[in-house]
Amino acid sequence: MEKWQDPETLAIWIAILLVLVFTIILFVVKIMHTGYKRMVQANLRQAQMQLEHQKKLTETSLQAQEKERTRIASDLHDSLIGKLTVIRMKSQLGLPLTDIDSLLGESITDARRISHDLTPPLLEQTDIADLIENIIDPWRQKMDIVFYTDIRSRHNFAASSKIQLVRVVQELITNIVKHAEATAVAVHLRITAQNCMLRVQDNGKGFDTSILKKGLGLHSLEMRMQYLSASYKVKSKPGNGTRTVIVCPYKNESDE
């Protein structure tokens, strides 16, 4: 009998083989466990980051709502109520009706502007281009604003999408008026079968985007972009103005 045919030798080789196989399996399991653990930890970190980001957007939304309430309250107090108080005083003093009528006209204009800021009239029936035109028009008293449209496809936007796009234009122009020191603004709206593109560009003082900190305005913009499933890019340099480009996929009521 050959030595390798000896039962004890065979048993030893089988034992060695089993130990080797078990070691390999244990090694593979260990590698898989380590990889799985790392993947779980990475997913947890990503989920935590997303949760923190969502929390920040929620806080920004609440701050933006509170800021909007404060602005409207200020408009009502400083503009509308002030004019109505003057009208009351003049009527008590018996001043000419022509003066009172002029102040009433201004008060009605202020009330209409505040109402439009809250919710544009006939939102569902009005075309998005007309809504943006209505939002832009009052600002033309402060600077030169040109509105371009390139409508390549007709679509009925959902009312919720319309209001978000209108709010985006409002916020961008408000920021330009407050911070950019611009004299001219160009707003370009393009609608195709695939998406809607909105570009707002000013000739203001610009800023360094590399040191840009996301204030309330940009967080609010990001929140609206997330709602619209849109993407955006802000391009600016000191002394060269600012350009904001927004691209959002077409959505209608059936997509809501």
Residues 201 and 254 reside in one and the same domain: yes
Residues 193 and 102 reside in one and the same domain: no
Dump the DSSP string for the chain.
--GGGSHHHHHHHHHHHHHHHHHHHHHHHHHHHHHHHHHHHHHHHHHHHHHHHHHHHHHHHHHHHHHHHHHHHHHIIIIIIHHHHHHHHHHHHT--HHHHHHHHHHHHHHHHHHHHHHS-TTTTTS-HHHHHHHHHGGGGGTSEEEEEEEE-S-----HHHHHHHHHHHHHHHHHIIIII--SEEEEEEEE-SSEEEEEEEE-S----GGG----HHHHHHHHHHHHHT-EEEEEE-TTS-EEEEEEEE---GGG-
Query: Of 99, 118, 137, which residue constitutes the final position of a domain?
Result: 118
CB 173 within 8 A of CB 185: yes
- Cα–Cα nearest to 129, from 190, 57, 59: 190
Residues 236 and 164 reside in one and the same domain: yes
In tens digits, what is the pLDDT along the chain, a chain of 256 residues?
A: 555 566 777 777 788 888 888 888 888 888 888 888 888 888 888 888 877 766 666 666 656 666 666 666 666 666 677 777 777 777 777 777 777 777 777 777 777 666 666 666 667 778 889 889 988 888 888 889 999 999 988 877 888 788 888 888 988 988 898 888 899 999 999 999 888 999 999 999 988 877 765 555 566 777 788 888 889 998 998 888 999 999 988 754 444 4
Query: Of 62, 93, 118, which residue constitutes the final position of a domain?
Result: 118
Q: What's the domain range around 193?
A: 124-256
pLDDT at 255: 47
Residues 149 and 169 reside in one and the same domain: yes
Residues 136 and 252 reside in one and the same domain: yes
- For residues 214 and 219, give the distance between their C-alpha atoms in angstroms, rounded to a whole number: 6
Q: Is the pTM of this model over 0.75?
A: no
- Determine the distance from the C-alpha atom of residue 116 to the mean position of all C-alpha atoms in its chain, rounded to a whole number: 20
CATH number of the domain at 171, please.
Answer: 3.30.565.10
Residues 74 and 43 reside in one and the same domain: yes
Residues 148 and 99 reside in one and the same domain: no
Residues 86 and 162 reside in one and the same domain: no
> Please, what is the Cα angle at 41 between 37 and 43, to 5 degrees?
115
Residues 160 and 256 reside in one and the same domain: yes
Residues 153 and 250 reside in one and the same domain: yes
pLDDT at 58: 65
Residues 111 and 129 reside in one and the same domain: no
- For residues 251 and 245, give the distance between their C-alpha atoms in angstroms, rounded to a whole number: 18
Residues 95 and 152 reside in one and the same domain: no
Query: Of 72, 90, 118, which residue constitutes the final position of a domain?
Result: 118
Number of domains in the chain: 2
